[in-house]
């Protein structure tokens, strides 16, 4: 059974860097899938943040691209998100997800439980 689990600080100060990690169990991140992040501000809809392919190629939401880094660590079977220079607008529940555009279920088929990150001084 594939499971994703987010971890990281729940509170980040404005202008600092938000760092989250997603631990993957029951599946190797080296297999042909994308591993991504989606966020949801309180009471609002879903926004795709970005994804990393098993090959290491990255794909970012243009609205966040200048502040965003997503990386894959195959030795630890996890992937990470770093978002720099955060503001209150980055306050959201952050979900890590698996998705594919060519193998099996071609959508966000596996989701982590989500972790709430608040940007505040």
Q: Which residues bind other proteins (CB under 8 A)?
A: 45-48, 50-51, 59-63, 95, 99, 101, 105-109, 111-114
Element (H, E) at 49: strand 47-53
Least Å distance, CB 94 to other proteins, is: 11
Encode 8-41: b = buried (16+ Cβ within 10 Å), e = exposed: beeebeeeeebbbbbbbeebebeeebbbbbbbee
* Cβ nearer to other proteins, comparing 16 with 64: 64
* Cβ nearer to other proteins, comparing 73 with 109: 109
* Cβ nearer to other proteins, comparing 16 with 93: 93
Least Å distance, CB 45 to other proteins, is: 5
* Cβ nearer to other proteins, comparing 15 with 105: 105
Measured from the Cβ of residue 120, the count of other Cβ atoms closer than 10 Å reads 9
Least Å distance, CB 10 to other proteins, is: 16
Token pair listed for 78: 């996890």
Token pair listed for 65: 């691209």
């Amino acid at each position: 059974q594939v499971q994703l689990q987010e971890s990281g600080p729940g509170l980040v100060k404005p202008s600092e860097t938000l760092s989250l990690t997603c631990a993957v169990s029951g599946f190797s991140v080296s297999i042909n899938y994308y591993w991504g992040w989606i966020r949801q501000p309180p009471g609002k809809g879903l926004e795709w943040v970005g994804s990393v392919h098993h090959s290491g190629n990255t794909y970012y939401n243009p609205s966040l691209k200048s502040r965003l880094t997503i990386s894959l660590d195959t030795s630890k079977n996890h992937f990470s998100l770093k978002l720099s220079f955060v503001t209150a607008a980055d306050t959201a529940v952050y979900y890590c997800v698996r998705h594919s555009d060519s193998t099996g279920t071609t959508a966000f088929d596996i989701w982590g439980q989500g972790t709430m990150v608040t940007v505040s001084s």
